[in-house]
Amino acid sequence: MKRNIHNIELEIPNSGIFIKGLENENLIISLSIMKFKETNLEKIATLDGKLDVGGLAKPLHPYIIYEVLEKNNKNIFNDVNIIDKRENENNIIYYFNFGLILNTFIGENEDNKDKEALKTLSFMQNFIPACFFSYQIIGDSKAISKNVLEDLKNRYGYEGKNYKSIFKKEVYINCNCLERLNFSHCEFESKVSLRFLKDNKYKEFHNGVDFSNCIFKNEVDFSYFVSGAPLPDNKYYNNAQNTLFKDCIFENKVDFHNSKITNNIYFNNAHFKDYVDFHECEFNKIACFYGVRFDKAPNFSQAIFKDNFNALNITLNFYFDDLKIQISKEYENFNKDIKEKENKKPLDKFANDFRDSFRIFKSALIKDNNLLDTSNFHKYELYCKEIELKNKKGKTFKDVVDRWQLIFYRKLCDHHTDILQSLNSLILVIGIFVISSVATVVGFNYSLGYKPILEHWYFSLDFYNHHINSIIQDNYLFVATVNLVMLFGYLILVGFALCLKYMREFFIIISYVITLLVLAVSPKILIPAMGIFTDKRAILDPLSVLGGIYTIIFGFVAFSFIKTIRKNSIVPS
C-alpha cells in the first residue's frame, strides 16, 4: 500500500511533542523521548530519581495543537482545515477533520551516546504527558481569577469556556501512556482503536482514561487494554485514577476482550447499541455497570471479577430470536476465514460462551441478594442453553427432553419472568377447553341428528347427557378411539396456540371473551374436578376425559402462574 505523506514537522514548544504531518490522511502527533528528556533535564535532576510525570510535563490539548498549526500556516491540507475551531457564548468545539494517531519515537540527542538516559524513559515507549481533548469546569467560569485562568490556559488550553473535540475520522492511540487521557464529552464519528496495525500486544494506561459522556458512532477496539497498571521499576509516582466510561453511547461494535483493569472502572448508564465483547477480561477492583443498557447480548465469557461487580439496574433490550441471530453471526464471523473443518468452533460452543456471560451477571446479583434481576439473567442463561442443545452434535435423549422442556417454559411464561404471558397462557388453556367441550357436545348431537341453536344451548347439553351413556355402551371401542383422538387433539391445539405467535394472539382474544362469559354463567366449569363426586358421568364420557386432561394442564399452568407472580414480587419465596 502506497503511503500518502504530507510533512509538517512542527514541535509544540518546550514539550518534545511533534506534529509530524499527515500520513494517509491521519494526523500524526508523536513524542520524542530523547527530546522530552533534554527539554526537562533540569527538572528530572531535581526529582531524586523518582518522576512525578503529572508535574513534569504539560498536558497535550487541542488548543495548543491548533495554535501551532495556525501560527505556522500549516492548518490547511487540500483546502480543508486539519482542525476547525468553533465557539459560541459558552463552549468551544475542536473539529479534527482528519484521523489522529498518537505515538512515540526515541529520537536522538546531540552526540547520540546518552544510552543510559534512555533507559528510564524510553524502554516502554510511553507517551509521557497527559492528554486533554476536552475540559469541563462546573460553575461560573467568570468567577475564576485572571492568574488562575492564565494557568488553566497554559496548562490545559482552557480559555474560560468548556471545550471538547469531535473526531471526523479514525483515532489510534498507538502507544502506552504514563499519564491520564481525557476524552470526556467528545464525539467519535469513525473508529477508535488502541493500535494502528492489528496485534495482540497490550497497551498500558497507567493513570487510567476518561471517556465519560462520549458518543462513539463507529467501532471501538480496546482489546488488550490495560488501565491503572503500576508504573515501571518504581521510578514514577503512581497516581492511578479511575477508568471512566460513564454515560457513553456506543452505536457500533465494542471490543474489550483480554483487557486487564487494575484500577476501578465505571460504565454507569452507558448504552451499548451493538455487540460488546468483554471475554477473558480481568477486573482487579470495582467494576461498575450500574444502569447499563445492552441492546444486544454482551460477551463476558471467562471474565474474572476479583472485587465488587455492580450489575444493578442493567437493561437487556433483546429477545430470544435476537439472541439466536447474534450467536449465529458470531459463529459465522469467527469461522469464515478458517478452512480446516476440525479447527472451526461449533455453534453450541458460542451459545455456551454467551450463557457463561449471563451466569456471571446472575452470580453477582445473587451476592447482592437481588433475586428479581437475578431471574431475568437466569432467563437469558436458559435461552442460551436451549440454543446450545439445539445445535449440539451427538444429542442424547436427555438433551432432546431438556430442550423441549426449555421451549415449553419459554413459551408458557418466559421462564417465570413474564406475569402477563403466564396469565395469557392460563386463559388460553381455559378458552381452548371450553371451545373443545362445546365442539364435543355439538359434534355428538349433530351425529345423532339434533341441530341446536345458540339460544337452546342447555337443551343441547341435556340432549347430550341423555344419550351419551347408551352410545358408550353400544360403541365402546369407537368412543374410546374418539376420546384418544380428542385428547391428543386438545394437547396439540394447546401446544400450537402456545407456540405459534399469530395463532396464540387469535386464541388469546377469543379465550378472554369465553372466560369472562363462563365466569358470569357457571364458574364451576373452569374446574371440572369439582364435579367428580356430584356428576354421574361414565368414565369414557368425552367431557369427563376432556375435563380430566384439562384439569391436569390447568393445575400445572396455574401453578406456573403463581410461581411467576412470586418470582416477580417482593413477597419472599
Tens-digit pLDDT string for the chain (573 aa): 456 788 999 999 888 899 999 998 999 999 888 788 777 776 666 655 555 666 677 889 999 999 999 999 999 999 999 999 999 888 999 999 999 999 987 766 555 455 555 555 544 467 888 899 999 988 777 778 888 888 888 888 898 899 999 999 999 998 888 888 999 999 999 999 988 777 778 888 988 899 999 999 999 999 999 998 776 655 555 566 899 999 999 999 999 999 999 999 999 999 999 999 999 999 999 999 999 999 999 999 999 999 899 999 999 988 999 999 999 999 998 888 888 888 889 999 999 999 999 999 998 888 888 888 888 899 999 999 999 999 998 889 999 999 999 999 999 999 988 899 999 999 999 999 888 888 887 777 777 766 655 555 556 667 777 777 777 777 778 888 888 888 888 888 888 888 888 888 888 999 999 889 888 877 777 776 555 444 566 667 888 888 888 888 998 999 999 988 888 765 444
Q: Give the C-alpha separation, 400 to 334, whole Å.
A: 27
Q: Is 567 exposed, middle or buried (0-12, 13-18, 19+ CB in 10 A)?
A: buried
| Stretch (H or E) spanning 142 | none
Tell me if 220 sits within 8 A of 250, measured CB to CB. Answer: yes
Neighbour tally for 87: CB within 10 Å: 12
Smallest CA-to-CA distance from 259 within 211, 329, 202 is with 202
Q: Give the C-alpha separation, 287 to 278, whole Å.
A: 12
Neighbour tally for 4: CB within 10 Å: 10
Instruction: Return the pLDDT at 573.
Output: 46
The rounded radius of gyration (Å) of the Cα atoms in the chain is 35
The amino acid at 376: N
Instruction: Return the pLDDT at 469.
Output: 74
Residue that has been written with the C-alpha cell 452470580 in this structure: 363
Q: How many helices (H) and strands (E) does the chain have?
A: 15, 34
Instruction: Return the pLDDT at 532.
Output: 47
Residue 442 sits at the vertex; the CA angle it makes with 437 and 446, to the nearest 5 degrees, is 150
Greatest alpha-carbon pair distance for the chain in Å reads 118
Smallest CA-to-CA distance from 55 within 178, 209, 190 is with 178
Neighbour tally for 270: CB within 10 Å: 24
Residues with Cβ within 8 Å of 463's Cβ and at least 6 positions away in sequence, in order, are 445, 448, 450, 452
DSSP lists the bridge partners of residue 243 as 265
Instruction: Return the pLDDT at 440.
Output: 82
Tell me if 28 sits within 8 A of 22, measured CB to CB. Answer: yes
Smallest CA-to-CA distance from 361 within 376, 347, 348, 349 is with 376
Q: Give the C-alpha separation, 369 to 363, whole Å.
A: 10
Q: What is the dihedral of CA 180, 186, 189, 193, to 10 degrees?
A: 10
Q: Give the C-alpha separation, 41 to 121, whole Å.
A: 12
Instruction: Return the pLDDT at 519.
Output: 84
> How far is CA 76 from its chain centroid?
41
Backbone angles phi, psi at 44, to 5 degrees: -60, -35
DSSP 550: H
Tell me if 141 sits within 8 A of 70, measured CB to CB. Answer: no
Smallest CA-to-CA distance from 61 within 107, 25, 92 is with 92
Q: Give the C-alpha separation, 222 to 267, whole Å.
A: 14
DSSP strand pairing (17-23 vs 5-12): antiparallel
517 in helix, strand or coil?
helix
Residues with Cβ within 8 Å of 398's Cβ and at least 6 positions away in sequence, in order, are none
For the whole model, what pTM was predicted?
0.85
Residues with Cβ within 8 Å of 403's Cβ and at least 6 positions away in sequence, in order, are 386, 389, 390
Q: Which three cell numbers stand for residue 19?
A: 506534529
Smallest CA-to-CA distance from 242 within 202, 209, 281, 280 is with 209
Q: Give the C-alpha separation, 561 to 509, whole Å.
A: 19
Instruction: Return the pLDDT at 105.
Output: 79
Tell me if 544 sits within 8 A of 537, measured CB to CB. Answer: yes
Instruction: Return the pLDDT at 123.
Output: 47
CA dist 10 → 17, 77, 184, 344, 536 (Å) = 9, 15, 27, 50, 102
